[in-house]
Each structure stands twice: as C-alpha cells, then as structure tokens.
Structure 1
Amino acid sequence: MNIDTEAQARMQFVLALRARGVTDHAVLTAMEATPRDRFLDGVFKARAWEDVALPIGGGQTISQPSVVGLMTQALEVNKRCKVLEIGTGSGYQAAVLSHLARRVYTTERHRHLARSAEAVLRSLDRANVTVMPVDGAYGLPEQSPFDRILLTAAAEDPPAPLLAQLSVGGIMVLPVGQSDSVQTLLKVVKTEAGLDYEAMGEVRFVPLIEGMAED
C-alpha cells in the first residue's frame, strides 16, 4: 500500500468509526495512530483498515475497530487512569488504550498470544503497557485498584473479583450473556452507593474462560 493509498484508507477508517458512533476525538486520534496491520498476519494485513473482525490464530480474533472504539469511548479513559484489560488477544486494544491512559495492564490466557502481543507492543514503543500471561478471570489483585477495567470476553455477569478491584468512581466495560448467543455490551460505574449499569447494544465475543490455555 503506497503512502497516498494508506492515507486515504486511514481517512475512510476514521469516517467509518464516526458513522458507527465513535465520536470522541481522543479515541479517534488514538485509533488512527495505532497501526492495526502490525497486529495481523499474512493476507489479513491488507484488510487492517476495514471495520471487520479478523482471525489472529488460536480460535481468537482481533475485534471490529468500531467495537474497539465504542468500548474505549465508554471507558472514558484519561491520562491519570490505570487500566486493566482482560483478554490481550493481538494487543491492538491495549495499544489503543496506551495512547489514552497512564498505565495499562493486560492479561492473556494464551501464552503464544501474550508473547506475540508483547513483541508488537514493544516494537511500537508502547512502554506503558504490561502484558501478563495469566488467567485474567480473577484480575490482578496485586496491582489493584484500577480506575478502568475492560473485558474482551463475555461473562454471564460482571465478575465479582473484578468489580472488587475497580476503584470507587471507576468504570468497567464488558460483554455479558451466554457464549452461544448475542451478548449485551455493558458499562458499569462503581459509586459510593453501589453499581450503576448501562446497556450499550448487542455484541458478540468469545466467552470468558477460567484457567490457562493449553498451548
């Protein structure tokens, strides 16, 4: 892809994100600055600027950019935030978050995906991201509390261990629902009085699975 073609692809990419409801300027800037092709292999690199989910191996996918944008926008991340992501996958979502947050911790149960994501993030000089090859279902209690928590795998309900690691005033965004059906994207705000929930539309993610993958 030559420079002019890539510039046009990026412009169309941002326009597509706006059309799907991603309107936060900081989020759009972060996504435009994150080279999605670096998180893809082979023939899929050429489709990096398309608003589609793509396979990354191990039965996993890199999420549709508009979904990444909407989830990131809902998190309301700022430069003071320490963020926990459950489900590193390719590392693309963590890279986007790294432009917005003070610190990003991201967990991945597939060790080979964690290694690959860490290598790409290092090559992009995203020094404020720490990739942890661990079972993220229980979070990272030793690093808690977190200002923001993002799940890229669907739970039946917001996991209690993760809610416990969310600071008061913090925000969690996650898909909830049965793994074999369409799920609901949920925004949870933790207040002094309890938890406030906001449904944000239908999505489809892989299920949140406990334990490390055999790979």
Structure 2
Amino acid sequence: MPKLRVLGPQRRTNLLVWCFAFICAILAVIVIIAGIIVFIGYLAIRPKLPLLYVNAARLDQVLYNQAGVLSVQLTIVVKAENHNQKAHVSFYNTRLTLQYHGMSIAALVADPFEVKKNASQELNYVVESSPIPLGKQEQELTQQALQKRAMPFFLKGNSRTRWRIGSLGSVKFWVHINCRMLLPTNYSVVYPHCSATSH
C-alpha cells in the first residue's frame, strides 16, 4: 500500500509582506483618484496653449557701403496671447535672436510678464545693429535684396510659459518662434503672423 504523505503546518504570510501590500494598494488608490481629479479639472478648464509670434515688423533704416558693411534698424512687434478664459499665463526666459543670412545681429529679451485671462500683450522692440562686415557671398545677396527692395530676416528663439489650473497646480511649456520676415526697403509694415510651436 502506498504511504500517505503527512502535511506539516501551513506557513503563514509574513506580517511585513501584508503591510507592504497594504501600502501599495493605498498608493494605487491615491494615484487613481489624483488622475480622475486632474482629468475632471482639465475638462472643466480646457486649457489652451499660449501663443508668441511676430505680429508686425518694419525695416526703418538700411545703411550699406561699398566696403560691404551693413547697418540696419528695425521695429519688431512680438505678440503674446492667452486664450484661456480661466487662467493667467506667465511668460519668462524670453530670448529671441534676429538673424540676417545666418548671422546673429541682435538679441531680443524680455523681463518676465503676465498675460491675463483671454487677453494679449505686445512686446515692442526697436532693434539697431552695429556695423556688420559682410562676406563676399553675403554682399552679393544683399545687393540682390536691395535691387528687389526687400531684405530677408529671421527671428528665432523661445519663451517659457506657466499657468495654473485651478488648485491642481501649474503647467509649464516652451514656446518657440522661427519666423522668416521679408521686409521691404520702402519702410512699409509687414504682418508675418509666423506660427509658433509649443511643447
């Protein structure tokens, strides 16, 4: 006859394991509840990304001599928009660079500022470059631009944005500008409305 196996006393789960499982369950419930609260807050407020773009630009002065030295003065209006109806937006670390054929000719910065709910604010810059010695290729491109009576400039840079979603905390994004501006030499105003990206 086969022998019957004798079973020993069952091992009980360690108390520390039960405590750890209990803590993990509580944390999981807290995370789920926090997620639901954030989702409900998002649906209630429906935050929209702020915008920063070139609203208007004008070439005020062009000085170019036979030695290939260029000096320019521009007026650039950058506009910050907040389409959120329930939250103010703060803009800070705003740093833009004005370029001409790949050469940085001016830096545009702004102190931290706030845009109220569903409002906008303009940043007005009058940019005057130092005399810029151009290379041979840039001299040819400049002469062609002067003949066509329109000079190309690029405005690149970014700004940090932050706004609060009720009592749920703040949301932060980078807003980037990459704008090509073809400015007439007859000093007329151009409205590029270059699009901005956020992340």
TM-score by length of 1: 0.19
Higher helix share: 1
TM-score, length basis structure 2: 0.19
| Greater strand fraction, Structure 1 or Structure 2 | 2
Task: Please say which structure displays the higher CA radius of gyration.
Answer: 2
Query: Bigger relative contact order, structure 1 or 2, given CA contacts below 8 A and separation 6+?
Result: 2
